[in-house]
Amino acid sequence: MIEKRNANFAIPDDPESSTYRFIIVAAKRARQLQNGARSFLPTTSKKPTVASMEEVRRGLVKYDDPHRDQPPPPEE
């Protein structure tokens, strides 16, 4: 059996989180890995993007969402 490896399997299907946020956080984490940060997971991949996406998908990368706890804008 051939294992499918594409974005549909890498991006979490979580209604609370957005795909855009996932990509941004994974990209920032990939940059950290490129600059020498240690990975949270043992990996066989040499690509920091693959490692960072797996770390974010598993919830190992913590980040703040500045829009999460904001009240809605007042209506005019």
What is the mean pLDDT of each successive set of 10 residues along the chain, which is 76 residues long?
A: 48 68 92 93 86 90 73 72
pTM of the predicted structure, to 2 decimals: 0.66
Under 8 Å between Cβ of 24 and 11: no
Report helix, strand or coil for 42: coil
Best CA proximity match to 65, nearest among 17, 28, 10: 17
SS3 31: helix
The pLDDT of residue 64 is 76
What amino acid is encoded at 35 in this protein?
A: N
Please check whether residue 31 is in contact with residue 47, taking contact to mean a CB–CB distance below 8 angstroms.
no
Q: What is the largest CA-CA distance in the chain?
A: 58
